[in-house]
Amino acid sequence: MVMALSQRITTLTGGGSDGWDLFLKARAMIADGVPVTELTIGEHDIRTAAPILQDMHRSAMGGHTGYAMVPGTDTLRDMVARRTAERTGVPTTRDNVLITPGGQSALFAAHAAACDPGDVALFIDPYYATYPGTIRGVSAIARSVQTRAEDAFQPRRSDIEAAVAGARSLLINSPNNPTGTVYSRATLEGIAQVCRAHDLWLISDEVYDTQIWEGEHISPRALPGMEKRTFVVGSMSKSHAMTGSRCGWLIGPSHAIANLITFATHTTYGVPGFVQDASAFALSLGPAFEAEVGAPFQRRRAIAQRVIATQNTVGLIPAQGAMYLMLDIRATGMTGDDFADALLEQEHIAVMPGESFGVAAAGHLRVAMTIEDDAFEAALTTLCRFAEARAA
């Protein structure tokens, strides 16, 4: 007899794919010895900087290998609070900060705080692949709000209003994965107006806040009346190339963080102390180091703009931030799924189909700018030539 599992576990993907099918197919090909150019996941092509690893080693060898304080070390919480206050203008103390095992854990904690079972939790489509499953994981109802390619995937206030019935929270992400869109002040003010009018928690995923190529990053927590109803998700992964270290944070009202510390005690039980020490050291390196980590993506964005300008089949959604491009391949008459699968089979180039990130991105591709410049340019040139042949 096979014991039944909870619906919470068995329905995380809503009965469909989790969006990673092509990525897994590419990895299987690589395991079989097929050379594949991977432009799939947001993994830096540089490793964590040696000084950060050396500080982590010093901390571990110095004995910080036991249980760390569940909310995070005072040092790291204070540094995250100070960084946030300096960059947003919103007074922030350690009482507003919970250190988490990466941004994904912070997303889960935020929804656990905002939603009871059966509540509706809104999220913007296109979306990072884990968003709906995270919502279902707290037994809330995941409801998407679709954006439009012609709006560069900026969400419209009217569309959020149309979906808001019964909702307790709204999850946004700017700079956005997968589209590279940076939400404008007007967009964020419209979102804030909806949240205030309908008493919503706003969960703002800002893990790409150091990767802005056009416009400005505005944290909605800084908008009038939003501090008391906003959770901000942050992470060391993208800003400091520390993806495997699993260190992030959640910022919110102090009473919410106090309760979430209890939640963390019963779930993650904190983050290793030596990882937190290395994260504090990494933050101490300041904005110049963060710019150095992000520089390859800004450089490759310029390469992509140059390559795509030479043809008329593949369109580029304005890539304002983050480490991704969203390419419009609808002129080929193919779905993103079919195009990506054919590109992998015939050219051994792996990209993520837009359909992996929701309905709104159908007919698009997400390309991660995460390989060396010359190889990136060659792969993108091949992709465009492949698309032109299909359109013809």
Which domains are seen in the chain, by residue range?
A: 7-47+288-391 (3.90.1150.10), 66-285 (3.40.640.10)
For residues 206-228, average pLDDT: 97
> For residue 170, is pLDDT > 90?
yes
Percent of the chain's residues with pLDDT above 70: 99
Percent of the chain's residues with pLDDT above 90: 96
Buried b (16+ CB within 10 A) or exposed e, 47-86: ebbeebeebbeebbeeebeeebebbbbebbbbbbbebbee
> For residue 16, is pLDDT > 90?
no
The secondary structure element, H or E, covering residue 305 is: helix 286-308
Question: CB of 370 within 8 A of CB of 59?
Answer: no
Q: Write down the pLDDT at residue 14.
A: 84
240-273 pLDDT, tens digit per residue, is: 999 999 999 999 999 999 999 999 999 999 999 9
Q: Write down the pLDDT at residue 392.
A: 84
Question: CB of 261 within 8 A of CB of 98?
Answer: yes
Contacts of residue 232, defined as CB under 8 A and 6 or more positions apart, other chains included, come to 84, 204, 206, 219, 221, 250, 251, 252
Average pLDDT along the chain: 97
278-337 pLDDT, tens digit per residue, is: 999 999 999 999 999 999 999 999 999 999 999 999 999 999 999 999 999 999 999 999
For residues 16-22, average pLDDT: 79
> For residue 20, is pLDDT > 90?
no
For residues 183-197, average pLDDT: 98
Which is higher by pLDDT, 178 or 15? 178
Question: CB of 365 within 8 A of CB of 338?
Answer: no
SS3 368: strand
Please tell me the distance from the alpha carbon of residue 386 to that of residue 391, in angstroms, as a whole number.
9
Our CA angle for 257, 226, 99, nearest 5°, is: 25
The secondary structure element, H or E, covering residue 105 is: helix 103-114
Q: Write down the pLDDT at residue 192.
A: 98
Please tell me the distance from the alpha carbon of residue 64 to that of residue 57, in angstroms, as a whole number.
10
Q: Write down the pLDDT at residue 26.
A: 95
Long-range pairs for 91-96 at CB < 8 Å and ≥24 separation? 92/251, 93/254, 95/254, 95/257, 95/258, 96/251, 96/252, 96/253, 96/254, 96/257
Q: Per DSSP, what are the bridge partners of residue 349?
A: 37
Burial of residue 219 (CB within 10 Å: 0-12, 13-18, 19+) is: buried
Read off the tokens for 246: 């699993």
